[in-house]
Structure 1
Amino acid sequence: MHSPGGWVFRIENPATVSFLQSVGKPGHLTTVHVSTEIKMASPFGFFGELFRSEFWASVLFLIGVAATITVIVLLGVIRDWWALGVLGMLMGARVLNVCVIRLRQDKDGFKGKKEGDTQGDLLIVLSQDRWVRMRGGVDDIKEVTAGQWLREPETVESFAVSFATLLVYGSAALAGNTTTVGSLLLALLLLFCAGVLGLANAATRTLHMFDRVVAVSEGPKKYGCRLDMVKDMIQVTDREEWALNMGLITQSVLNDEVRRASTGTQDMTLVHRGSHSRLPIPSSGAPELPPGGTDLGINNGSNLELGLSGSGKSATSSATDVAELPRDI
Structure 2
Amino acid sequence: MTCHQRHTNQISSVLSLISSLLHCPLDSSPLLVITESVFHPIMFTSTFPTMSLDLVGIIFLADLSLIAQRTALTGGSTFLDTFILCPGLHRQQDAANVHRGEYPAVAAMTTGYVFRVENPATVNFLQRVGHTGQLTTLSVTNTRKTRKGWRSHFMSSIDSSMSLGAVAAYLLAVSSTIAVSYLLVLTEDWWGLLVLTVLMFTRFINVLLIRSRSRVGWSGASEPGVVGDLLVLLSQDRWVRIRGYVDDLKAVTSGEWLHDMTWVESAISGFTTLLVYLNVALASNAKLSGQVMLLLLFVGTGGLLGLVNMLTQGLQMHGNLITVDIPRRKYRRRLDLVEALICETGRDDWAVRLGMINPSQASATKGSSAGNAAFNETLTM
Contact 1:29 / 1:222 at 8 angstroms: preserved in 2? yes
Cα deviation, 1:134-172, whole Å, max 9, x if unaligned, reads: 111111111111111111112222122111101100110
Residue of structure 2 aligned with 1:88, choices 175, 197, 211 = 197
Q: Secondary structure at the match of 1:271?
A: coil
Which of the two has greater strand per residue?
A: 1
Aligned residues: 270
> 1-side partners of 2:271 and 2:147: how far apart?
37
Contact 1:247 / 1:298 at 8 angstroms: preserved in 2? no
Structure 1 residues 150 and 123, CA gap change in structure 2 (3 angstroms): same
2:357 aligns with 249
Deviation at 1:251, TM superposition (A): 4.0
2:21 aligns with none
Query: How is 1:1-329 mapped onto 2 (pairs within 5 angstroms)?
Result: 5-37=111-143, 39-40=145-146, 45=151, 50=158, 52=160, 54-56=162-164, 57-107=166-216, 109-252=217-360, 271-275=365-369, 296-297=375-376, 314-316=379-381
- Alignment-mate amino acid for residue 112 of structure 2: G
2:69 aligns with none
Deviates more, 1:243-252 or 1:169-178: 243-252
> 1-side partners of 2:269 and 2:147: how far apart?
34
- Alignment-mate amino acid for residue 36 of structure 1: N
Q: Percent of aligned positions with the same letter in both sequences?
A: 41
> 2-side partners of 1:41 and 1:51: how far apart?
10
Structure 1: 5+ residue stretches without partners: 256-269, 277-292, 300-313, 317-329
> 2-side partners of 1:184 and 1:105: how far apart?
36
Deviates more, 1:150-159 or 1:94-103: 150-159
Please report the RMSD computed on the Cα atoms of aligned residues, expressed in angstroms: 2.8
Deviates more, 1:42-51 or 1:112-121: 42-51
> 2-side partners of 1:157 and 1:136: how far apart?
35
Q: Secondary structure at the match of 2:200?
A: helix
Contact 2:252 / 2:317 at 8 angstroms: preserved in 1? yes
> 1-side partners of 2:149 and 2:121: how far apart?
31
> 2-side partners of 1:195 and 1:229: how far apart?
39
Q: Secondary structure at the match of 1:147?
A: coil
- Alignment-mate amino acid for residue 68 of structure 1: T
2:55 aligns with none
Structure 1 residues 44 and 116, CA gap change in structure 2 (3 angstroms): closer
User: Whose radius of gyration is greater, 1 or 2?
Assistant: 2
Q: Secondary structure at the match of 1:125?
A: strand
Q: Secondary structure at the match of 2:249?
A: helix
Which of the two has greater helix per residue?
A: 2
Q: Secondary structure at the match of 1:112?
A: coil
Contact 2:283 / 2:291 at 8 angstroms: preserved in 1? yes
Deviates more, 1:219-228 or 1:16-25: 219-228
Q: Secondary structure at the match of 1:120?
A: strand
Contact 2:161 / 2:323 at 8 angstroms: preserved in 1? no
- Alignment-mate amino acid for residue 290 of structure 2: G
> 1-side partners of 2:237 and 2:279: how far apart?
44
Ranked by relative contact order (alpha carbons within 8 Å, sequence separation 6 or more), the top structure is 1
- Alignment-mate amino acid for residue 353 of structure 2: N
TM-score (normalised: structure 2): 0.65
TM-score (normalised: structure 1): 0.74
